[in-house]
Structure 1
């Protein structure tokens, strides 16, 4: 059934896209074709719901059960887009994700702000220019306008995600984040050493993860045991060296040093 559901999905999604384009362009679509695509979409949704329910009954977590129905890369991409939109709302409200009592937040978006604002400005200029050039072609004008406006929101969302999702130091765990697509939990017990180390070139290497901001990292963590880093599309790899950046790297280094050297509570004593 899993192959059937995914096969229907790959067939229905392009069909829906073609129908939307045809209707937007004023092309008449035969009623039989329109109804057939809609019926296939409903069947795919119902079968997907059945498959998801079976996976949950087998004891799978909600996210793992969803991966049974929809490929993990697709789920992660959709989640990333929704996360960017949520970050825009959180940015307007001046909120920070995950920061609460007992959890320290360390921003890391300051050094990329000029680049992101400049990129957003270029996208706005391009939107205005394309809107003027295509003003006499209504359908194409509307399509490009939607795409251009979404591009501006996407760029602003990338920066908003960086601003509203700082690194977190939560007890004995450091969460290093980059936008909506990286959230790496590093237990402090696995940190062999941490040092302030500005780095501006980052060649790819096995077992290393570079969370670059504005072309640089400022802290290097060497781990005694590897942690699993998950990429945007779900690719997993083990890393022993993590480089990250913070607006105030020395403050983060000091907080990590305090947390790593703090005495552990005695057995049977509340933390």
Structure 2
């Protein structure tokens, strides 16, 4: 494996490495030696935060030459982390050193100015939810923005969407898979509600604060579960001019280009489904459609990405999709 391939393989871990370094530095800043020399400890923490963020930026950039905006953004992130998360003695030293505080403020202001200029351009180049995500991604880390968007989407679907059509873009055809999941999902919701009530009653006799904490966590879990169950209907599997988009609520969303599809079949082989090279998108049921690929398709986050040679899923009525795919592939 070449150096570039190894770097691409470990790129996900490199994105998390700065937070590990900064977390260890935060723990070291609480040692007695750091408390006796707070000025030196503050300088060391600021250097470690900036250095780790910049090195991760260089390692994860395709050209290994980050732009000025990326460098300023990492420096501003280091300043924000040190200002908000440093131990109280170091924050006192920071407040007592206006020159350092002013320099850190200028770095943050430079980042905001550059991000605002890029956000104005991004506002005109995109539309809808992608516009807001692109604009927010200029000021905050993009993974954090995507996580917040997903959280808001789940909460919106769980609490506010109770009817209406599914999310089907223009030019795409939808294929439902939620009908076979409805009885099992309703049973799971009922059991979860009973479990929450039992936990609340028993913990209430032992500790009031534990009961309140469990009540908040369990209610939040129920809201997420409701959003997940409703997403099965609102996010069907799609077929459009570009290819097949296999979805399973919020859990799975993978696009399969039409030129990657070798053949599609309803003959399901158990050994193929259990093969690690098969992405099984059928939830709580056995798949009834298997799409075979002519080239590996990457799936999953960067830290546990795997290559798939088959995509299996279950539809309520699989024959229309199979006929359309075979017609698109010119297969009998």
Could you say whether these structures have the same fold, taking a TM-score greater than 0.5 normalized by the shorter chain as the test? yes
Structure 1 residues 7 and 65: alpha-carbon distance in aligned structure 2, compared to 1, 3 A threshold: farther
TM-score by length of 1: 0.66
| Aligned equivalent of 1:114, options 166, 183, 195 | 183
2:324 is equivalent to residue 258 of structure 1: no
Q: Distance in 1 between matches of 2:81 and 2:191?
A: 35
**Which residue number in structure 1 is paired with residue 35 of structure 2?**
none
Counterpart check, 1:126 vs 2:195: yes
- Alpha-carbon separation, structure 1, partners of 2:85 and 2:181: 37
1:141 aligns with 2:211: yes
TM (norm. structure 2) is 0.56
Richer in helix (by share): 2
SS at match of 1:198: coil
What is the aligned partner in structure 1 of residue 62 from structure 2? none
1:256/1:91 CA distance change after superposition, 3 Å: farther
More strand by share: 1
The match for 2:154 among 80, 84, 107 is 84
Give the structure 1 partner of residue 265 of structure 2: 195
Structure 2 match to 1:205? 276
Unaligned runs of 5+ residues in structure 2 are 1-71, 96-100
Q: Take 2:140 and 2:303, find their aligned partners in 1: how far apart are those partners? A: 13
Contact 2:263–2:326 (CA<8 Å) still a contact in 1? no
Determine which structure has greater relative contact order: mean sequence separation of CA pairs < 8 Å that are 6+ residues apart, divided by chain length.
Answer: 1
Q: Once the two structures are superposed, what CA deviation does each residue of 1:110-168 show, in whole Å capped at 9, x if it has no partner?
A: 33333322222222112222332344655443332221111111112111112210011
Separation in structure 1 between the aligned mates of residue 75 and residue 137 of structure 2, nearest angstrom? 14
| 1:185 alignment counterpart | 255
Unmatched 5+ residue regions in structure 1?
A: 16-31, 263-271
> Shift of residue 210 of structure 1?
2.1
Does 2:250 match 1:159?
Answer: no
User: Are the aligned partners of 1:120 and 1:156 in contact in 2 as well (CA < 8 Å)?
Assistant: yes
The total of aligned residue pairs comes to: 236
The offset of 1:183, in angstroms, is 2.5
Counterpart selection for 1:104 from 166, 173, 178: 173
Hey, what's the Cα distance between the residues in 2 that align with 1:179 and 1:14? 36
Structure 2 distance, partners of 1:218, 1:156, is 26
Q: Let me know the Cα RMSD of the aligned residues.
A: 4.1
Residue 177 (structure 1) shift: 1.0
2:164 alignment partner in structure 1 = 94
1:5·1:69 contact (CA, 8 Å) conserved in 2?
Answer: no
Compare CA radii of gyration and give the structure with the larger one: 2
